[in-house]
Amino acid sequence: MLIPLILSGGSGTRLWPVSRKNLPKQFLSLTGQGTLFQQTVERTRLLPDVGSPIVVASEDHRFLVAEQLLESGIENATIVLEPLARNTAPAIALGAIQAVERDAEAILLVLPADHLIGDTESFTNGVGLALPIARDGWLATFGIRPDRPETGFGYIRRAESIGEGAYQVAQFVEKPALATAESYLADGGYDWNSGMFLFKASRYLEELELHAPEILQAVRAAHASAKGDLDFVRLDSEIFAQVPDNSIDYAVMEKTRRAAVIPVACEWSDIGSWSALWMAGIRDAQGNLREGDTIAINTANSLLRSHDRHLLATVGVDDLIVVTTPDATLVAHRDAAQDVKRVVDELKAAGRSEHSLHRIVRRPWGSYDSIESGERFQVKRIVVKPGAALSLQKHHHRAEHWIVVSGTAEVTCDERVFLLGENQSTYIPLGSVHRLRNPGKVLLELIEVQSGSYLGEDDIVRLEDVYGRS
């Protein structure tokens, strides 16, 4: 059985301010149909004899993963939640253990959730070439044929052929200087390291035990602690914290004698920066990649991205990245795109929330948008999905007013349970136990006005919660 293992733990800091900790790039629609995560899932469905996917994701993103799988028509995926990031070697080990439990001879197709592939047919053909050598016990990786000297990727040097379209790996090479990258391109025997792999799940575990036994032992202990929770496989956080942090390249691929590479030309991009997105996108005659409401006058070779109901205009500029969101704007030179993560580092150091949260925050029950805030007040637009409910909760420092804009709200306030329709409102006193539910079949939209001495999201005492957050 061929089982896709989708790694979805990345944070995508170089795509700030659109990609943030609580909504990283794999869950965003950046190019093409659907999010990068959904595009990855869809590619696996085109493969023959493929089983349901295994997804390894951050616990913080569990509802995003479940919702986007459901939107893609995938209802039987296994979602393994990492309590904290431990890099690719442990994440793949978790998936391999799950796969072996399903089928002792399972072959894993390991795919990062945040990559873009423009030529799906070439990718599928590459998987077909990798399958025979994987069955023979090789650990195959997919090398991307370079079309330019690139200093932002690692490289793989090919050795002798071991089958149709497959080569033994001679060497894994770190990100090179420009002159070295140019020599690799001229040589013709080097490929970019894509971070995509195909091998028997059991073979990966054997190689991990040989070269990094401490990782495998710790992962097995964490997996033994796993418990089912709704649609998820949860690991004990204290046990998983003992797992060493290491990548599959360092832990296994650079040490094994059975590493193989299948070169492919599939219009691949890791979308690792705004400049990478600019290169991968469809640009206009002036070389601009534009999305949203934009006006570009005497502007060339730039990426312009605006959010809803916001006009972005540029005049007389070249080679810029200009990205706006409701609460932040980025202006950078395209050549400095890799340094965007330094903005995120400064936001973290300053204790600001813009590195992790958008103004619009998604929750398993819907979303909220912080429209306005000031001294002792905050105004939110809350949207609740049909049939969904917020937790039964209370606050120590704030009271709330709710005004229904559309739909029907079922309100619990202490001992009372009552319905509110459009243009009706209610008051939730400080300290009252309350819950909001949408009993209808259309979206519930309301305006919430908070007032009090402290309005942070951590002033929520959850008493009951259908999403396991209490």
- DSSP 3-state of 307: coil
pLDDT score for 454? 94
Predicted local distance difference test score (pLDDT) of residue 308 = 81
Residues 334-356 pLDDT 10s: 999 999 999 999 999 999 989 99
| Residues 317, 310: Cα–Cα separation, whole Å | 20
**Residue tagged 């319905």 (tokens):** 419
Query: Rounded to the nearest 5 degrees, what angle is found at the Cα of 103, between the Cα atoms of 98 and 104?
Result: 95
Per-residue confidence (pLDDT) for residue 369, from 0 to 100:
93
In the prediction, which pLDDT does 438 show?
97
Average pLDDT of the segment spanning 372-401: 95
> From CA 137, how far away is CA 130, in angstroms rounded?
11
> pLDDT by residue (tens digit) across 194-224?
999 999 999 999 999 999 999 999 999 999 9
**Residues 125-134: what's their mean pLDDT?**
97
Q: Counting Cβ atoms within 10 Å, is residue 138 exposed (0-12), middle (13-18) or buried (19+)?
A: buried
Q: Is the pLDDT confidence value at 365 over 80?
A: yes
pLDDT band at 466, cuts 50/70/90?
confident
Q: Taking all residues of the chain, what is their mean pLDDT, rounded to a whole number?
A: 95
Q: Which token pair is 273?
A: 């920066």
Tokens matching residue 272: 């690792």
Find the mean pLDDT for residues 3-11.
Answer: 92
Per-residue pLDDT band for 168 (boundaries 50, 70, 90) equals very high
- CA dist 445 and 228 (Å) reads 33
Give me the mean pLDDT over the 13-34 stretch.
Answer: 92
258, pLDDT greater than 80:
yes
Q: pLDDT confidence of 456, banded at 50, 70, 90?
A: confident
Contact yes or no for 194/115 (Cβ under 8 A): yes
pLDDT at 10 over 90: no
Bridge partners (DSSP) listed for residue 271 = none
> Pairing state of beta strands 289-291 and 303-305?
parallel
Which pLDDT belongs to residue 12? 81
Contact 137, 202 (CB under 8 A): no
Strands of the 328-333 sheet, one edge to the other: 289-291, 303-305, 320-325, 328-333
CB atoms within 10 A of CB 430: 14
Please compute the mean of the pLDDT values over residues 6-17 and round it to a whole number: 91
Residue 375 has pLDDT above 80, yes or no: yes
pLDDT at 470 over 80: no
Query: What is the model's pLDDT at position 11?
Result: 80
Query: 228-249, pLDDT tens digit by residue?
Result: 877 799 999 999 999 999 999 9
pTM of the shown model: 0.88
Question: Hey, what are 390's tokens?
Answer: 């917020």
Q: Once rounded to an integer, what is the mean pLDDT over residues 316-328?
A: 96
- pLDDT value of residue 395: 96
Among the listed residues 352, 114, 135, 97, the one whose alpha carbon sits nearest the alpha carbon of residue 226: 97
For residue 172, give the 3-state DSSP assignment: strand
pLDDT for the residue numbered 400: 97
Name the pLDDT band for 54 (thresholds 50, 70, 90): very high
